[in-house]
């Protein structure tokens, strides 16, 4: 049997958006995985494989990424629109509670969804992003996003990824870079290997102030009573150590895990993160409302 089913939903402005649905126990809230700026549902494959069966894992590709449709208006590539898109999916799923796992941009979307509170959160994971984002990391991302590249082989693509991310994942070997390339890139009909997102997602991101909503600390407060795991890469240039500590201190039920020798963003498969995820999910499973 396949590990997941490919499914879709329709955004409020009529786009067909894609997610992978990994089956799990129906008596537990599903885990909705929200990826980073240039990433897609494939980023959560290893996590879903590990948790599948016990937990239903829904890995989303936001508009303009992966198998989700590209937006007609590139200025809709902003957090407020992603929030509306995810709320449409939650309404379609008709679940009473859910668990959010958000990486980078996905963490920002998670905080905004928590603030709105239309579907209660049972737990949340914020991976390497918070209410304050480090200017150095934002500058790096602005310089990289939206720059098209094309390669003849997966090895060429992997070498490109390694060159760009060597400081982020210093322990990676060639197999790791190949795996990352296959999450980031796709094969075109002509056989070329290209980045798997709409290059126009860069347009609003390059406008100062569009990386996050104005008062993200207020948004984070929506998670105050929610079991929350905050994950930070020790080398992160997006989530500073002081910001991560302030986030954990401001939430009633938070745990902060720092991944050594890793930048932005941890993969969620690191041993210390996997153990923390298991603790977080055990708290959810133990609560009466989980049934």
Considering just the CA atoms, what is the radius of gyration of the chain in Å?
Answer: 18
Return the ∠ at Cα 268 (arms to 170 and 97), rounded to 5°.
160
Q: What is the pLDDT of residue 131?
A: 97
Q: What is the pLDDT of residue 2?
A: 72
* Residue among 62, 57, 81, 74 nearest 16 (CA): 62
Q: How far is the CA of 221 from the CAs of 46, 56, 110, 215, in angstroms?
A: 30, 26, 12, 10
The answer to pTM > 0.75 is yes
Q: Per-residue confidence of the chain (291 residues) as pLDDT tens digits?
A: 579 999 999 999 999 999 999 999 999 999 999 999 999 999 999 999 999 899 999 999 999 999 999 999 999 999 999 999 999 999 999 999 999 999 999 999 999 999 999 999 999 999 999 999 999 999 999 889 999 999 999 999 999 999 999 999 999 999 999 999 999 999 999 999 999 999 999 998 767 655 545 689 999 999 999 999 999 999 999 999 999 999 999 999 999 999 999 999 999 999 999 999 999 999 999 987 644
Q: Tell me how far the alpha carbon of residue 101 is from its chain's centroid.
A: 7
d(C-alpha 81, C-alpha 68), whole Å = 14
Residue 248 makes CB contacts below 8 A (sequence gap 6+) with: 230, 254, 255, 256
Q: Which helix (H) or strand (E) holds 108?
A: helix 105-116
* Residue bearing tokens 């948004």: 219
Return the structure tokens found at 9: 């939903």
* Residue bearing tokens 């609560």: 287
Residue 219 makes CB contacts below 8 A (sequence gap 6+) with: 111, 112, 114, 115, 131, 213
pLDDT in tens, 92-118: 999 999 999 999 999 999 999 999 999
Q: Can you list the domains of the chain with their CATH numbers?
A: 5-135+213-290 (3.40.50.1820)
Q: How far is the CA of 213 from the CAs of 186, 194, 220, in angstroms?
A: 31, 30, 11
Q: How far is the CA of 18 from the CAs of 49, 67, 191, 242, in angstroms?
A: 18, 6, 23, 36
Residue 171 makes CB contacts below 8 A (sequence gap 6+) with: 261
d(C-alpha 61, C-alpha 161), whole Å = 20
């Amino acid at each position: 049997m396949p590990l997941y089913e490919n499914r879709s939903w329709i955004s409020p402005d009529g786009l067909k958006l894609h997610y992978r649905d990994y089956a799990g126990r129906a008596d537990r809230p599903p885990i909705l995985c929200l990826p980073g700026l240039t990433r897609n549902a494939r980023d959560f494959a290893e996590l879903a494989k590990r948790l599948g069966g016990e937990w239903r894992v829904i890995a989303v590709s936001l508009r303009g990424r992966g198998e989700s449709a590209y937006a007609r208006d590139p200025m809709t590539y902003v957090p407020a629109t992603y929030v509306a898109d995810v709320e449409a999916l939650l309404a379609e799923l008709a679940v009473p509670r859910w668990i959010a796992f958000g990486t980078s941009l996905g963490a920002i979307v998670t905080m905004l969804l928590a603030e709105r509170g239309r579907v209660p959160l049972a737990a949340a994971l914020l991976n390497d992003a918070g209410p304050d984002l480090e200017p150095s990391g934002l500058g790096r991302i602005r310089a990289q996003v939206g720059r098209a590249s094309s390669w003849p082989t997966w090895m060429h693509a992997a070498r490109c990824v390694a060159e760009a991310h060597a400081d982020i994942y210093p322990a990676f070997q060639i197999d790791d870079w190949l795996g990352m390339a296959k999450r980031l890139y796709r094969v075109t009909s002509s056989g070329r290997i290209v980045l798997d997102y709409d290059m126009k997602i860069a347009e609003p991101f390059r406008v100062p102030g569009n990386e996050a909503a104005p008062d993200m600390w207020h948004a984070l407060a929506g998670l105050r009573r929610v079991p929350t795991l905050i994950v930070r890469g020790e080398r992160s240039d997006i989530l500073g150590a002081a910001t991560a500590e302030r986030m954990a201190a401001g939430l009633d039920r938070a745990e902060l895990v720092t991944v050594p020798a890793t930048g932005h963003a941890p993969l969620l498969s690191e041993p210390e993160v996997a153990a923390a995820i298991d603790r977080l999910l055990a708290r959810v499973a133990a609560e009466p409302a989980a049934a």
